[in-house]
Structure 1
C-alpha cells in the first residue's frame, strides 16, 4: 500500500473512531401543537434534547416510526405528512397531501405510509423512503380509524357510509375489500396487538362493531349493542380515542362515549364484563405495559385529573391532578414511568408508576401527543 493510501486509511479510521454514535431506542417525540414543532426527548435522562420546527398545523397530530426507529412520520391536521430524522434532528421530507388529515399508519415492513383524510376524504399511501405517492384510495367520505395490519395491509373506516375497508399491498398491485354495515357514524377504531381484531366505536348509534381479520370473509360483529348515547342523549365534550384502549390480561378496557365510565370487555367473546365509574368523560384509557393498572384522563372541563384503575378489582386506586389540560400519556416500554403532557402548564411531567411520585418536569410549548420510539415494533401504533 502506498504512503498516500495509508494516510487516507488512517484518516478514515480516525474519523470513524471519533464519530459520536446515536442510539434511538431511548428517544421519543412530543407534539407541540401551538407552534408546529416536535420536541425530541430522552427517556433515561428525562430531558429534552432538541426542538424541530416547520411541521405545519399540529393541532390534531400523531406519528409513527420507521422500523429502525430513525424516522418519524408526522401526520398534521393541515394534511401535511412530514418525515423527521431524529438522528440528524431535522426534516427529511414533507408533502401536503390533503386539506385536512386525521392520522396515519406505517406498513409492517416499513415501506409504505398511509394517511387518513377528512378533506377530500379517502386514504393516500406513500413510499416511506421518498414520500412519493403510491396509491390514492377515494372512499366518498371522511376516513377514520386507519391502522396497519399484518401482511402489508391497512384497515380503515368511513364516517359517512359506515363501511370498513381493507387495502392489501401484499401483491404486485393493490386489492381493496369493502365491508358494509359497520354502523352509523363510526368515529375511531383500534386493532389488537396480534392484528386479528379490529374494533370501531360508533357515535350515531349504541355499541361498537368488530371485525375478525383472520376470517376468510370478515363480517361485522356487534359489540355491546345496549351501550352508548343513543338511548340517553349525553353531551360529548371530546370524542374518546379508541387508540388509547387498554388490554389487560383477558379483557379490553374502552373509554365510554358521553358517560363517566370505562367499559370492560372479554377479549375472546367481546361481551361486557364490567364498568368502572370515573371522574369524568374518559378520553384515553391506557394500560401500563404489564396490564395491572389502567390510567385514564378526561375531557374538558375535568381535564386536570388522572385516575388509576386496578385491573383485578376494577376499582380506582389513585387520583391526582397534574395540572390544567392533561392531553396524553405515554408509558416507558417496561412501564416503570409514565410521561404526561399538561398543555396549559406548558410541561411534560414524568411519574413513577409504582409510587406515583413526580420525578421530573420538562418545559414544552403546548404539548399534546407523546410518542416513544418503542412504538416502531408494535402493530397499530
Structure 2
C-alpha cells in the first residue's frame, strides 16, 4: 500500500460519521414547522430541505437565533422551551423548559448568553449558551416582550403591563438593570437598529412608538410618530405586526402601522415621518431586501395570501405575488438574490427571484412559519 492510500484509509477510519459529507454552515437555514413541533434544516444553494428534526414542543409562535459560528440554533417555543440544535449533526443537544409561556429570545453580542422573554410568569431568564445553565433571572412585573440584544453584552426588553423598558447589562459579575418608565401604553414588540444605537418599541395601546438612544450616557424615552392614526377609523387587528421584521433602507426605516392598511416611512437620523404607503391589507412584516432597494410586506388574515414589494426610493408598490393562503414569514438570502416565503396552509415554502419576482423553487414543509438563515448570526437585533 502506497503512502497516499494509507493516509486516505486512516482518515476514513478516524473521521466522525457526520463528517463523511463535509458541509459548511453559511448556506444553511431553519424552517419552523409550527403544527408538528419540528423544524426543517435547509440548504440555500440546493434550494432543498436536507433534514427534519422533531421534539421542540409548542412552536405556534417560535423564533430562533444562531451561535456566532453558525453551527447551533437556539429555538424559543411558546411552551417556554429553549432548545439547542446542532445544524451539522441534525440533533438536539440541549433543551430546558424555563417558563410557562414564552415569546422569543436573543443572543448576546459575544455569543455567550441566551435570553428568553416570558409571558408567564413574566420577566427574562438568561442562560449560558454552551450548557443552557441558567445564570440570571430578571423580574419584570408583567409580560416581557420586544427582547433585543445590544452592544456591550446587553439585552433590552419592554413590559406590556407596566409600560416600561428595561436595559440589562450583563458585562459584569452581576446583572445591572436600568428601568425606563413612561414608554407608552402596552409596548408589544421592538427593534434595534443595525448600528445598535436605537431601540424602538411599538405601542399597541396608543398611536405612536417610543425610541431610546442606547448610546446616551443616560438613556431616555422619546415618543415618535405620535397620533399617526389620528382622524382614521381603526381597523381590527387579526395578527400583531412584527417590528423585528423592520426594514432599514438607506437612510429610511419602514414600519408596519397598527390598525391601518399602510406602512410608515421614517428618517433614520431624525426619526421623523417622511411618508406612507397604502397596502393590500394590515401589514405584519415589512422586511428590506439586503441593499435596501426593496421592501417586501406580508399581511394578516383575511388578506394573508399576498406579498407586496415596495420601491424604497419612490415608496410605490412595484410588485404583487400570491404565493398561497397564510403567508406567515419571509427571509432573504444574505445578498438579497432570493426571498423564501412560508405558506402555512399549502404546506410549502416558495422561493422567489428578487429581480424578476418570479418563483424559482419550492420546498414541502408541514405548516411552515418562521424561516431563518445563518447570516443572522452576524447582525445585531436578529
Same fold by TM (over 0.5)? yes
Q: Distance in 1 between matches of 2:114 and 2:367?
A: 27
Aligned residues: 375
Stretches of structure 2 that go unaligned for 5 or more consecutive residues are 1-5
Query: TM-score normalized by structure 2?
Result: 0.95
Asked if 1:67 is matched to 2:72, the reply is no
Matched with 2:132 is: 131
Q: Which residue of 2 aligns with 1:4?
A: none
Alignment match, 1:327: 328
8 Å CA contact 2:234, 2:260 repeated in 1: no
Give the drift of 1:47: 0.3
Which secondary structure state, in structure 2, belongs to the residue aligned with residue 217 of structure 1?
Answer: coil
Two-structure CA RMSD over aligned residues (Å): 1.6
Q: Which residue of 1 aligns with 2:258?
A: 257
The DSSP-based 3-state class of the residue aligned with 1:344 is helix
Q: Aligned equivalents of 2:119 and 2:162: distance in 1?
A: 13
Secondary structure of residue in 2 paired with 1:205: coil
Alignment TM-score, normalising by the size of structure 1:
0.96
Partner of 1:355: 356
Between the aligned partners of 1:358 and 1:116, the Cα distance in structure 2 is 36
Deviation at 1:267, TM superposition (A): 0.5
Alpha-carbon distance in structure 2 between the residues aligned to 1:115 and 1:229: 35
Give a deviation string over 1:144-200, Cα, whole Å, max 9, x none: 000000110000000001110011011122111001110010110000011000000
Range 76-85 or range 166-175, more displaced: 166-175
TM-fit CA distance, 1:315: 0.3
The residue that corresponds to 1:176 in the other structure is 177
Aligned to 2:35: 34
Residues 331 and 350 of structure 1: CA distance in aligned 2, closer, same or farther (over 3 Å)? same
Q: CA deviation at 1:258?
A: 1.1
CA offsets per residue over residues 113-132 of structure 1, 9 Å max, x none? Answer: 00000000000000001100
Partners of 1:205 and 1:229 within 8 A in 2: no
**Cα 1:353–1:16 shift into 2, 3 Å:** farther
Query: Post-superposition shift, 1:15?
Result: 3.6
Partners of 1:245 and 1:252 within 8 A in 2:
yes
**Contact 1:210 1:222 survives alignment (8 Å):** yes
Shift of 1:16: 5.5
Determine whether 1:289 maps to 2:290: yes
What is the rounded CA distance, in whole Å, between the counterparts of 1:231 and 1:163 in structure 2? 28
- Displacement of 1:231 in angstroms is 7.0
What is residue 366 of structure 1 aligned with on the other side? 367
Show the counterpart of 2:144: 143
- Mapping of 1:227-266 within 5 angstroms? 227-228=228-229, 232-266=233-267
In the alignment, is the contact (CA less than 8 A) between 1:327 and 1:341 conserved in 2? yes
Indicate if the aligned counterparts of 2:351 and 2:359 stay in contact, CA closer than 8 A: yes
Decide whether the 8 Å contact of 1:41 with 1:50 is kept in 2.
yes
Deviations 1:40-92 (A, max 9, x none): 00000000000000000000000000000000000000000000001100100
* Residues 190-205 of structure 1 mapped to structure 2, 5 A cutoff: 190-205=191-206
How far did residue 19 of structure 1 move? 3.8
User: Which residue does the alignment assign to 1:3?
Assistant: none
Aligned partner of residue 280 in structure 1, secondary structure: coil
* CA gap 1:302/1:229 in 2 versus in 1, 3 angstroms: farther
Tell me, yes or no, if the aligned pair for 1:205 and 1:228 is still in contact at 8 Å: no
Q: Please state if 1:378 is matched with 2:375.
A: no
- Residue number in structure 1 paired with 2:119: 118
The residue that corresponds to 2:3 in the other structure is none
Matched, 1:84 2:122: no
- Quote the Cα distance in structure 2 between the aligned partners of 1:333 and 1:312: 21
CA distance in 2, matches of 1:298, 1:9: 57
The SS at the match of 1:139 is coil
The residue that corresponds to 1:313 in the other structure is 314
Report SS of the residue matched to 1:376: helix
CA distance in 1 between partners of 2:9 and 2:43 (Å)? 32
Determine helix, strand or coil for the equivalent of 2:376.
helix
- Secondary structure (helix, strand or coil) at the match of 1:290 reads coil
Secondary structure in structure 2 of the residue aligned to 1:374 = helix
Mapped contact 1:229–1:258 kept (Cα < 8 A): no
How many angstroms apart in 1 are the aligned matches of 2:232 and 2:46? 50
Aligned counterparts of 1:231 and 1:295: Cα–Cα separation in 2: 24
CA offset at residue 22 of structure 1? 2.4
